[in-house]
Structure 1
C-alpha cells in the first residue's frame, strides 16, 4: 500500500522514484512529547471524531514540511535531527473556506480537547483556545477519492471477484474430470489384471478422498 503524507492538502506519495526527486517520508516520533508537537504543528482536526487528528501506526509526513536545517545529511539515508518539529504547512483556499463554514456552525462542539493518549493529558486546558482557532477541520484521509472514483474501484473489484470465481470453477471442473479419468484407468488396469484388487481399492479410495477435499 502506497503511503501518503498526512498533512492536509499535501498530495505527496511515497513512490519508488520519490527519493530520486529529493522527497523523503518520516514516521511520527515514538516520544509522546515530540509526537504531540508534530500533531499540534499540523493544525489538523478530525471532523468525524470532533477532535484533534491523531496519527496511526504507519502514518507519515513528507520532507516538504520540514526546513532544510532539520535534516541530518551526514549519512547515506537522510534522517531528521533529534527533536525537530515540522513547521512548513500551507492552507489551501478551498480548505480555508471549509474551515470558515465549519466555524459558522452554531451547534458545532469540539469534544475531545485536550488531546489524550492512554489516559494521560498531553495538552493543557490553557492551550485549547489558542489552538482551536488555528486548526484546520478535515475529514480523515481514509476517504480520499470522489464517489465516482470509488464506484469505479468497486466495479473493478467486483469484476476481479467474478473472474476469480470463474477461474476457480474451471479448476474444480478440471479436477473432477481428472478424477473421473483416473477411476476409468483404474478399472481398465484391474480388468486387464495389471493391478491387484487390493491396489485398485486403494487407488479408488484415494480418488474418493480427493473428491471430498475439493467439495
Structure 2
C-alpha cells in the first residue's frame, strides 16, 4: 500500500497525484532525541514511530525543506510544526524573545500539550516499546527490567571488589620484591628511593 502521512487529520498518501502537487514524504529521524521531538509534535497519545512511518512535507515550514538537490530533504534539526489540530488540543503559543529562551524551548524533550488518543486504523503500526524512553504498559515487564538492572549493578560491584583485591595482592607482591632486592643489595640507593616513591612505601626495611 502507498505510504500514508501519520499526522492528525492528514489524508495525504504517496501517489502520483500527491507527487504532481509537489508533496514529498519523509521518514522519522534515526537520532533518538530528534525522533522523539517529531513524535511529540504529532500529539498522538502513546505514539511511537516505526521505521516505515512518514510525514508529508505539508507539515514543515518552507525554510525546513532543502530543495536544492534532486530529492527534497528535511534540513538538519528541523521539526514538523504545521498542523491543523482540533480546538481541544490546541495550545497557546508564547512568544520567545531571546535566543536563550528559544534554544531552551527547542531542546526540551517533553511537551505538556494536550494529546488525543490515536484511532487504530488497519494500516497503522503498533507502538514500539523497544525505545529506552518507552515504559511497558504491563507492570510485570517494568519489574523485570528493574530486576535486570539491579542484577547488573550487583555484578559490576562484585567485579569492582575483585579488581581491588587483585590490585592489593599485586601491590603486596611488589613491595615484598622490593624488600628482597633491598636486603640483597641488588639495587642502589637512588633506584631504591625512586621505587619507594612510586610504590607508595616510605622506607624499605
TM-score range, shorter chain: 0.3 to 0.5
Which TM-score applies when normalising by structure 2?
0.47
